[in-house]
Amino acid sequence: MLNPQIVEILLDFVSLFFPRHCLACDDSLVKGEDIICTMCMLEMPQTDYHTNLENPLQNRLSYRIQIKYAMTLFKFSKSGRVQHLLHELKYKNHPEIGVLLGRVYAAKMIETNLSNAFDMIIPVPLHPSRKRKRGYNQSAKFAEGLSEKLNIPFSDDFMVRSMRTETQTRKSKLSRWENMDGVFGVKAPQIIQGKKILLVDDVVTTGSTLEACAHALLKAGCCELSIACIAEA
């Protein structure tokens, strides 16, 4: 077995020729940093909704969905670092971003005693063909990081998504809502009955996707529903 000091020297040597970059700002990462640089971690705009549970997102969504808490880690701005990071997560084969951000958000939830507020974590499912193409569900990766740190089970298999919805961004808000209705189904309602569910997604925009998913979970008998996303647009 190699001496750990020698391994470290070799890794330093490799990083001279193959520098690793921050996936939010593209700057080189220094020793001890991984995936996202310290500067980005400190400067990306956080909502702090976990410390303010009657927040604007909760107010906005609770008109339409019967929810307990609604939280997002970041505020999304066009061409900003959060947008860049989410693009890398969704389209550039970097599922590790989702896991990392899940762990980061879980640590914040633990600080505010939210760790016992949920029994199960469920990500918004992707359509199977899109999941096959991408290789992973980015929301499930976020769920995985949350689950690991909060010590609450998660599964990407409880829900099904029945049709493609990629043309919806071109449609009006009303027709998009109608189009989402009935898209999601729960495979094993008996597992979620009476449970406090944390439903997670990458970005919340109009909230139509979360709303449709939430309806399916509430209809299937979950007793309390909360929402956590990486970013709010």
Whose structure tokens read 């309806």? 215
- Closer residue to Zn ion (CB): 25 or 110: 25
C-beta of 38: minimal distance to Zn ion in Å?
Answer: 8
120 binds Zn ion (CB under 5 A): no
Q: Which residues contact 113 (CB under 8 A, 6 or more apart)?
A: none
- For 42-65, b/e burial (b = at least 16 CB within 10 A) is eebebbebbeeeebebbeebeeeb
- Closer residue to Zn ion (CB): 20 or 60: 20
The residue among 165, 230, 172, 167 whose CA lies nearest residue 204 is 230
C-beta of 128: minimal distance to Zn ion in Å?
Answer: 34
- Taking the CA atoms of residue 192, residue 193, residue 198 and residue 203 in that order, the dihedral angle to the nearest 10 degrees is 70
C-beta of 37: minimal distance to Zn ion in Å?
Answer: 3
Here's the x/- map for Zn ion, 79-98, by CB under 5 A: it reads as --------------------
**Helix 138-150 and helix 95-111, axial crossing angle in degrees, nearest 10:** 40
The interface with Zn ion within residues 9-48 (CB under 5 A) comprises: 22, 24-25, 37, 40
Here's the x/- map for Zn ion, 122-161, by CB under 5 A: it reads as ----------------------------------------
- Closer residue to Zn ion (CB): 37 or 121: 37
Other Cβ atoms within 10 Å of 148 Cβ, number: 14
Contacts with Zn ion by CB under 5 A lie at 22, 24-25, 37, 40
